[in-house]
Amino acid sequence: MTTILSEILDRKREVVARLRADRASRDFRDRALTLRANTTPHRLLRALESNSRGVNIIAEFKRRSPSAGTIRNDLAATDVATRYERGGACAISILTDEQYFSGSILDLGAIRATTSLPLLRKDFIIDEIQIYEAAVVGADAVLLIAAALDDAALVKLRATAEDKLGLDALVEVHTSQELRRAVSTGARLIGVNNRDLLTFRTSLETSERLIAEAPRDRITISESGLQSPKSLRHLRSLGFRGFLIGEALMRATDPETALRDLIAAVEDRQAVITKSE
Catalytic residue selected from 133, 172, 178, 247: 172
Length of the chain (residues): 277
CB atoms closer than 10 angstroms to residue 271: 10
Cα(100)–Cα(11) distance, integer angstroms: 10
Catalytic residue selected from 133, 178, 223, 256: 223
Catalytic residue selected from 62, 128, 207, 231: 62
Cα(211)–Cα(238) distance, integer angstroms: 7
193 is a catalytic site residue = yes
49 is a catalytic site residue = no
Catalytic residue selected from 122, 194, 207, 231: 122
Catalytic residue selected from 56, 60, 194, 222: 60
Q: Please state whether beta strands 189-193 and 168-173 pair in parallel, antiparallel, or not at all (unpaired).
A: parallel
60 is a catalytic site residue = yes
Task: Answer whether 189's CB lies under 8 Å from 173's CB.
Answer: no
Burial (0-12, 13-18, 19+ Cβ within 10 Å), 142? buried
Catalytic residue selected from 65, 93, 193, 207: 193
276 is a catalytic site residue = no
223 is a catalytic site residue = yes
Catalytic residue selected from 56, 207, 224, 231: 224
Q: Which residues are catalytic?
A: 60, 62, 122, 172, 193, 223-224
